[in-house]
Structures are given as C-alpha cells and as structure tokens.
Amino acid sequence: MPNTLSSFQHKILTYYSEKGRDLPWRKTTDPYSIWISEVMLQQTQVDRVIDYFKRWLAKWPTVHDLAKADRADVLTMWMGLGYNNRAVKLHEAAKTISTAFKGDVIAAMMSDTKIPGIGPYTKSAVRIFAANHDVVTVDTNIRRILIHEFALDEKMSDKDLWVIAQNCLPLAKSRDWHNALMDYGATLLTARKTGIKPKTRQSKFEGSDRQIRAKMLRHLLAIPTGASFDELLDVGNNKNEAERVKKILEKMAGEGLVVADGSTWVLKK
C-alpha cells in the first residue's frame, strides 16, 4: 500500500510523464472525438482502435455529420471492431445529441436524459478527457490499480471503488490523472502481473454467436435488398443450427440491427 495519497499520485503521474502512450484521442479535447474513442475502446484493444478512430473522424468529423449518416454506412465503417450494436447506439445517440442538445456533447454527458449507449462510465470519461472536469471514472485498469495499491477486496462494489477513486483524484488534473492510471494499469500493473481478474472476460470469438452475427451482418451490408433465412444459414455454414441462428437474428432485431420483411431479413434503416 502507498504510504500517503500524495506518494501514490506522484508515482502514477511520474510514470505517465515518462512513459505515457502517444494516442490520437489524447491530442484533442473535442468532446465528440473523445466520445467516439471511448465507445470504440470498449472491449477492443487500443492498437486496433487507432486506425478506425482516424477514418471515422475523417468521414464524420462532427456529431451532426454522424447524426445524418446512413446506418448501413455506420455499420460498414464499424465492421471489425466487434459488438456492432455499439455502432447502432452510437448513431442513435448522435441523433439525440444533434437535435435535443444542438450538438453540445458535454451538455449531453452532464444531463440526466437517457441517451442510447451512454452510461455513467462514458459520461464521466468524456467530461474528464474533453473538459478536465473533477469527476472520476473506473475502468478495468483503474479498478485493478486501486485493488492492488490499497489491498482491497476484489469483490468490492463499483460504488465503493468510485468513492475511493474520488478520494484519490488530484483536483484540476483529472485528464492527466486518468490517462496516467490507464497507462499504468495497461502497461505496468497488468492483470497477469497482479493476478487480479477483470470483472468480465470477453468470450472466445471463433465459433461464437458474435462470429455468426458478424458474418450475417457483412452479408446483409453487401446485399441491401436483404437475404432469406436459408441464405443466412449458408453464410455462416450453420445449416444444422437453425434454431441458434434464429435466436441470433431475433436478438439482432431487438437491438435495432435488422428487421424481418416477410421471408427476408434486411438491415434496419
């Protein structure tokens, strides 16, 4: 455990000043850009996100641009990042922010209004990295650091961890502090080194429902007129798993990705 709070802060911030990662979303304070990066980084490796982030902003540089985008284009741009429902929610959220908040992303993040795909973590993260607000957020890296450095129970509730995180926050340094914590956890105090397991673990992709979803979605993006159920079974080589594929399609429909048009499945507009 650190001897004092100040020594803990000094250690983390010194590591960041000497070995902080050079990432494109750290070179801007634009709330929209920060928001895009935060959504892309959910359950996705940093190295994979970098090129997607740059291409996305080149195509849709503002929240208004994204709000006016075609959903098929949004999904096509997202393919490869995984969990495509994130893209759908991102698109819907952009529409809300563009109209209800006149494009003011920070105002949206500070509002109690329910916005698709935006929860407490994302709201705080955007405020921190875009506006340097004195609020906290706790991702898997920060959680691991707090548990390790303060010898906490791994079963500690998120609510209690957030209280500890708030007590550790150096005022007026929220942006640097959170970047520092994330780098310290991602590159030095790793899960392998500490033995502290994340609360949730991403399942294997090969043979998973996520892989079947991705194959069917790619197929539907390539064929705007849609595809029959039997055709979608063939796409993923799942002829013997009709019930499984049916449930996956129903879930995709519930998430607003696809709709059934008679005997044909099409992308939802």
User: Could you give the CA distance from residue 78 to residue 82 in angstroms, rounded to a whole number?
Assistant: 8
Residue carrying structure tokens 């906490």: 152
Question: Of 180, 182, 192, 218, nearest to 84 (Cα)?
Answer: 218
User: Could you give the CA distance from residue 200 to residue 202 in angstroms, rounded to a whole number?
Assistant: 7
Q: 38, 92, 241, 243: which one is catalytic? A: 38
- The residue type of 139 is D
User: Could you give the CA distance from residue 23 to residue 250 in angstroms, rounded to a whole number?
Assistant: 38
Report yes or no: 45 and 33 within 8 Å, Cβ to Cβ: no
> What are the φ and ψ backbone dihedral angles of 233, each rounded to 5 degrees?
-65, -40
Residue carrying structure tokens 């044909």: 264
> According to the 3-state scheme, what is the secondary structure of 179-245?
HHHHHHHHHCCCHHHHCCCCCCCCCCCCCCHHHHHHHHHHHHHHCCCCEEHHHHHHHCCCCCCHHHH
User: Could you give the CA distance from residue 36 to residue 87 in angstroms, rounded to a whole number?
Assistant: 10
- Indicate if 92 belongs to the active site: no
Using alpha carbons, list the distances in angstroms from residue 5 to 1, 29, 113, 135. 10, 28, 35, 17
Mind telling me the catalytic residues?
A: 38
